[in-house]
Amino acid sequence: MSLGLPTHLSRAANSRALATAARWAGLVCLVAALVNALFSGFGQGVNGASWLTLAMLLPMVALLAVLALLARGRTVALTIAYLAVGTVCTYFYVVAIFLGTPAYRDTNLFVVALPVVAMTLVGGTGTGALAGILWASLGFALAEAAVLLAAVTTDRVFTTDAISLGAYLLLVGVLAFDGLTRGSRGRTQSAIHRAVRDVRLVELRRSLVADLAADTHDTVLSELLALSRSEPGPLSERLRERIDADLQALGRGLPSLTQALAAESIDDDPWYRSDLHRAIEDARDEGLAVDVSGDRSSIARLDETTLRAIGLAVRQCLVNVIRHSGSATAEVALSICDDSLSVMVVDGGRGFAPDSTAGDRLGLRQSVHDRISRVGGTVTVYSSADVGTTVIMVVPCAPEVVA
């Protein structure tokens, strides 16, 4: 349980939400255009020209409705289809309006602006502010071109209308604002993500302390009380047995702490002190759900330099997951064999071409490949667009010490 979308997911979500917003608004414009087409014509009621005008818009309405419903799907092809069909529809719609209403002298009309606005509000494809602005500009330009052509066809004067220009500027303004401000939740959110884990840790501690108090009450405490009430002299057989049992239990650990006493304290545990653990905790603070599998104690077999290299390399892998994958989860899997430890970082998000030379992949090459090869290890990257990315790092380690 936590508050709000983490920054790395909010960017994509925000783009999709803005695209949906634009499409819903565009649909309202098209519906208004349909109503106008039906009821314009000097109050003569619905006539043939009205139906014709209306029919011109239907393919456009259908495509935009599909787009509005496909907020999460792949929409690039559909968006292109919408723009192409929309341009043609806008042209025929405007021609039909001018043929049906001889009184309209120029294109500065609300009824003409409606499909132009709907074309502008194509909403991008949910891929970011700049892309959104480019898609909106393309839609606006195509629609204006269609209106210009329709004006020429029907011998009317072409003038840009204030409404569609205003809608275009408003959309660009909102997208630009979004591009400048999105994701600025920063430290507050990290602190809350960390606090969600702390809250649970404190709950678990409290229940353990309660169990421990009950255990103590039934064992050591009752024996101490029995001793304090005993008459000086030989220890009774019964009390001796009970004390013996208590001491053995303390050696094994009380039932409430069975698993813990054998292990080292947190401060001495190499896992909790490692850069690897810190890298995972930092990624969790960013809102990435990181699962850790495999034997954590195996990292004790790495020398300090290798352990540090692995920690920093995993940090970079997790940063890559946060920045590029769009995935809400990742897994860090440790596995050890005779003389090597492999650490696998897996995400189920958007992958990439491993040999891509894009700047944002430099981190992977420099921080991961270089670091790991300097300590004599190897890195293998599997990535594909649909399945996500798996980075496998194998580093040499000391052979297991048989006690």
Partner 1 sequence: MNAPRGVATATIVRLRSVPVERTPQRLDPLGVQSAWLLVPLIGATAIGYAVTSTIWHRDQLRSPALAIAAIAVLVLAVAVAAVRTHPGLAPFGRWSHVAVIGLAIVAACLFDASVWGHNLRIQDDWGQIAIALLLIAMPLYRPVLEVLAAAAAGAVVVGALAALQSGTLAIHTGPIVYATVAATPVLALALGGAGYAWTMTGETLRWREVARAGQERLEGELRDTAQRQVAQESAAAFEEIVPFLDGVLARGEITGADRDRAGELASGLRALAVSSVERTWLDETVALALAGRGHADGTVAASRVHDPDRLDRVLTDEQRAIVSALVSTVSELPGLDPASLRIDVAEPEHPSFELTARIAQQRRGIRRELVPYLSALRSVSMETGLRVRAGELTLRFAYPGSRRP
Task: Say whether residue 13 binds partner 1 (CB under 8 A).
Answer: yes
Nearer to partner 1, 109 or 310 (CB): 109
Q: Which of 223, 275, 335, 365 binds partner 1 (CB under 8 A)?
A: 223
Parallel/antiparallel/unpaired status of strands 388-396 and 340-347: antiparallel
CB 364 → partner 1: shortest distance, Å? 24
CB 54 within 8 A of CB 84: no
Task: Say whether residue 291 binds partner 1 (CB under 8 A).
Answer: yes
Task: Say whether residue 103 binds partner 1 (CB under 8 A).
Answer: yes
Residue 267, CA atoms < 13 Å, CB-side half-sphere: 0
CB 263 → partner 1: shortest distance, Å? 6
| Residue 160 neighbours by CB distance under 10 Å | 14
Task: Say whether residue 250 binds partner 1 (CB under 8 A).
Answer: yes
Q: Which of 74, 240, 273, 374 binds partner 1 (CB under 8 A)?
A: 240
Q: Which of 152, 247, 362, 385 binds partner 1 (CB under 8 A)?
A: 247
* Residue owning tokens 């004067």: 157
Task: Say whether residue 260 binds partner 1 (CB under 8 A).
Answer: yes
Burial of 238 (0-12, 13-18, 19+ CB in 10 A): exposed
Task: Say whether residue 43 binds partner 1 (CB under 8 A).
Answer: yes
Please work out, in degrees rounded to the nearest 5, the angle formed at the alpha carbon of residue 69 by the alpha carbons of 64 and 72.
115
CB 40 within 8 A of CB 111: yes
Task: Say whether residue 35 binds partner 1 (CB under 8 A).
Answer: yes
Q: Which of 184, 171, 205, 227 is nearest to 23 (CA)?
A: 171
Options 28-36, 335-343, 365-373, 378-386: segment touching partner 1 (CB under 8 A): 28-36
- What is the footprint of partner 1 within residues 125-154 (CB under 8 A)? none
CB 143 within 8 A of CB 115: yes
Q: Which of 127, 137, 153, 216 binds partner 1 (CB under 8 A)?
A: 216
Options 49-57, 207-215, 305-313, 373-381: segment touching partner 1 (CB under 8 A): 207-215
Q: Which of 328, 333, 387, 392 binds partner 1 (CB under 8 A)?
A: 328
Nearer to partner 1, 277 or 361 (CB): 277
Burial of 200 (0-12, 13-18, 19+ CB in 10 A): exposed
Nearer to partner 1, 177 or 400 (CB): 177
Nearer to partner 1, 15 or 367 (CB): 15
Task: Say whether residue 261 binds partner 1 (CB under 8 A).
Answer: yes
Task: Say whether residue 198 binds partner 1 (CB under 8 A).
Answer: yes
Q: Which of 130, 191, 353, 362 binds partner 1 (CB under 8 A)?
A: 191
Task: Say whether residue 266 binds partner 1 (CB under 8 A).
Answer: yes
- What is the footprint of partner 1 within residues 59-88 (CB under 8 A)? 68, 71
CB 94 → partner 1: shortest distance, Å? 16
d(CA 298, CA 261): 19
SS3 (DSSP) at 156? coil
Nearer to partner 1, 265 or 357 (CB): 265
Task: Return the amino acid letter for 160.
Answer: T
For the beta sheet containing 378-384, the strands, ordered from the edge strand earlier in sequence to the opposite edge, are: 289-293, 329-337, 340-347, 388-396, 378-384
Instruction: Indicate the DSSP class of residue 382.
Output: E
Options 127-135, 178-186, 367-375, 389-397: segment touching partner 1 (CB under 8 A): 178-186
Options 12-20, 48-56, 137-145, 395-403: segment touching partner 1 (CB under 8 A): 12-20
Task: Say whether residue 181 binds partner 1 (CB under 8 A).
Answer: yes
CB 122 within 8 A of CB 25: no
CB 44 → partner 1: shortest distance, Å? 9
d(CA 296, CA 334): 7
Q: Which of 99, 174, 333, 387 binds partner 1 (CB under 8 A)?
A: 174
Q: Which of 345, 351, 342 is nearest to 384 (CA)?
A: 351
> Crossing angle of helices 7-39/48-69, nearest 10°?
170
CB 68 within 8 A of CB 21: no
# binding residues, partner 1 (CB under 8 A): 114
